[in-house]
């Protein structure tokens, strides 16, 4: 046993410290599998009290600490880029309170999104943010990356639903920022907003109070295919401006359609088409009355292939195809990078053309599957990191993409966060003054950068 082993085992009970190479191998990467950083150890606190006790001693370990939920991040967030200890929250799985009348719940940070959905459903309420990684991603990861999802077009992202955060700081002190009523507690200002989206750089989250909504009475899902980018973009603009106010507007390009159709998720999409998946929901009489109008809008924009359904099985099949797209990409290629830019919707076709042109010219396959309603682009670049030069090509295209995104008024991340994948692009958006102000927040909570170093800002290095 090395020195770190011994000190970790003094902080946590038997079985809660992993150090063998085989155990650590599973924690080397996040969703960006090609970037691997072996941690020195992984700890698995049994509950919030054990996590707080660990944090009280962790400062003295003098190694980086990296919080990890399910590790589905696509930005290089929950990885030990500077070595150190990964704190895996998988055991924090309680949902102690569901207050359906007050429309809030209390949930621990290791609960997975789909488990929370299933627990809430019988109470007639739901938690709207819905990243496609829902079967495995945790609320801790969602809050730390301010996750979005398909239905965030209308409902808003994670930050719109967090009423309170329980966080353990580096000195082991436990704080509640906000609470069930969204109150501020002893903290005079809205400190929870600092925590949301902090990507593990400020504190370890153990518990949240989340806002819920009543389940919509009726849902209709539309499938419309288009022959080209221009007509697809016209349909998106028409939907966004329409008073039917869809909950979700998702897009798959022809390469995404081909991928779905050659998988078990095939649902009869025409070859070569751009797919829009649109959903409207709300009170039954209201939503039913809007169906013909939305179908007509989709046709008028240029689709000769519009279908729609309220039946759960048909709707689920379409959503499964959309949500499984990320997993299918992993089967197509040894490595892939998903970019996560946000652009004004007027620039959609222009930026997508740049993506196709640059990727095609470099011989890199690209598939676009994204939340079109909120202008959240996700070009997936497929490559083989073992082939010399391939990664460099993808990085070059990604940089050109980000430059164009910023030139048209967009920004670096809509929902995946910055991690260490996009930290190098931060100066494209933020000047020195803004960077200095942003660094003032970790300077207060995590002055030595012990928590998640080398993330978000390239020069946040522990010990420097």
Ligand X SMILES: Cc1cc2nc3c(=O)[nH]c(=O)nc-3n(C[C@H](O)[C@H](O)[C@H](O)COP(=O)(O)OP(=O)(O)OC[C@H]3O[C@@H](n4cnc5c(N)ncnc54)[C@H](O)[C@@H]3O)c2cc1C
* Residues of this chain that bind ligand X (CB under 6 A): 30-31, 66-74, 77-78, 89, 109, 131-133, 137-138, 140-142, 144-145, 147-149, 199-200, 204-205, 326-327, 415-416, 452
* C-beta of 385 vs 423, nearer to ligand X: 423
Location of structure tokens 């507690």: 185
CB of 149 to ligand X, least distance (A): 4
* C-beta of 30 vs 115, nearer to ligand X: 30
SS3 of 209, please?
strand
Angle CA(200)–CA(161)–CA(454) in degrees, nearest 5? Answer: 15
* C-beta of 91 vs 100, nearer to ligand X: 91
* C-beta of 138 vs 303, nearer to ligand X: 138
Provide the H-helix boundaries in 251-388.
254-261, 284-300, 312-323, 325-332, 348-362
- Encoding tokens for residue 134? 């829902």
- DSSP annotation of 176 reads E
- Three-state SS across 12-37? CCCCCEECCHHHHHCCCCCCCCCCCC
CB of 91 to ligand X, least distance (A): 11
SS3 of 380, please?
strand
Q: Strand ranges (DSSP E) for 38-193?
A: 41-43, 65-68, 85-88, 97-99, 104-108, 125-126, 162-168, 174-178
One DSSP character per residue, 218-278 reads EEEEEEEEESSHHHHHHHHHHHHHSTT--SEEEEE-HHHHHHHHTSTT---PPTT-EEEEE
Residue nearest to ligand X (CB): 141
- Encoding tokens for residue 115? 């488990």
* C-beta of 18 vs 287, nearer to ligand X: 18
* C-beta of 89 vs 232, nearer to ligand X: 89
CB of 98 to ligand X, least distance (A): 20
Alpha carbons 24 and 96: distance in angstroms, whole number: 31
CB of 1 to ligand X, least distance (A): 27
The answer to whether the beta carbons of residues 39 and 80 sit under 8 Å apart is: yes
* C-beta of 30 vs 390, nearer to ligand X: 30
CB of 248 to ligand X, least distance (A): 11
- DSSP annotation of 76 reads S
CB of 412 to ligand X, least distance (A): 14
- DSSP annotation of 459 reads T
Nearest to 141 by CA among 198, 59, 212: 198
CB of 259 to ligand X, least distance (A): 13
* C-beta of 423 vs 452, nearer to ligand X: 452
CB of 201 to ligand X, least distance (A): 8
Backbone angles phi, psi at 317, to 5 degrees: -60, -45
SS3 of 205, please?
strand
* C-beta of 401 vs 418, nearer to ligand X: 418
CB of 332 to ligand X, least distance (A): 13
Nearest to 323 by CA among 263, 237, 374: 263
């Amino acid at each position: 046993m090395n020195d770190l082993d011994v000190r970790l085992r003094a902080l946590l009970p038997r079985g809660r410290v992993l150090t063998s190479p085989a155990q650590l191998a599973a924690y080397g990467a996040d969703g960006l599998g090609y970037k691997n950083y072996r941690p020195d150890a992984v700890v698995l606190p049994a509950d919030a009290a054990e996590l707080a006790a660990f944090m009280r001693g962790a400062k003295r370990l003098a190694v980086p600490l990296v919080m990890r939920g399910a590790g589905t991040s696509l930005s290089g967030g929950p990885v030990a880029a500077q070595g150190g200890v990964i704190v895996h929250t998988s055991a924090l799985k309680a949902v102690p309170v569901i207050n359906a009348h007050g429309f809030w719940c209390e949930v621990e940070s290791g609960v997975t999104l789909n488990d929370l959905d299933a627990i809430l459903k019988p109470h007639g309420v739901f938690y709207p943010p819905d990243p496609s990684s829902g079967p495995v991603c945790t609320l801790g990861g969602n809050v730390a990356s301010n996750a979005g999802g398909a239905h965030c077009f209308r409902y808003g992202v994670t930050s719109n639903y967090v009423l309170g955060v329980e966080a353990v700081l580096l000195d082991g002190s436990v704080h509640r920022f906000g609470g069930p009523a969204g109150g501020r507690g002893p903290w005079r200002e809205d400190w929870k907003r600092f925590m949301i989206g902090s990507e593990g750089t400020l504190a370890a989250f153990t518990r949240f109070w989340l806002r819920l909504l009543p389940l919509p009475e009726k849902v209709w899902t539309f499938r419309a295919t288009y022959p080209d980018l221009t007509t697809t973009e016209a349909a998106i603009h028409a939907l966004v401006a329409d008073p039917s106010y869809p909950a979700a507007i998702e897009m798959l390009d022809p390469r995404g359609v081909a991928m779905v159709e050659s998988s078990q998720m095939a649902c009869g999409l025409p070859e070569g088409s751009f797919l829009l998946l649109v959903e409207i929901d709300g009170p039954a009489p209201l939503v039913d009355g809007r169906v013909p109008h939305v179908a007509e809008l989709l046709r008028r924009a240029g689709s000769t292939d519009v279908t729609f359904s309220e039946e759960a099985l048909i709707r689920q099949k379409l959503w499964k195809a959309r949500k499984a797209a990320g997993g299918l990409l992993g089967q197509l290629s040894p490595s892939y990078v998903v970019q996560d830019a946000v652009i004004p919707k007027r620039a959609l076709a222009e930026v997508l053309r740049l993506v196709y042109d640059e990727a095609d010219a470099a011989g890199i396959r690209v598939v676009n599957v994204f939340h079109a309603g909120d202008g959240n682009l996700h070009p997936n670049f497929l490559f083989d990191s073992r082939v010399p030069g391939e990664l460099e090509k993808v990085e070059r295209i990604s940089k050109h993409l980000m430059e164009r995104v910023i030139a048209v008024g967009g920004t670096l991340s809509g929902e995946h966060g910055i991690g260490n994948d996009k930290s190098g692009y931060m100066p494209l958006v933020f000047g020195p003054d803004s960077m200095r102000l942003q660094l003032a927040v970790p300077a207060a909570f995590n002055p030595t950068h012990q928590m998640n170093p080398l993330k978000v800002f390239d020069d946040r290095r522990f010990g420097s």
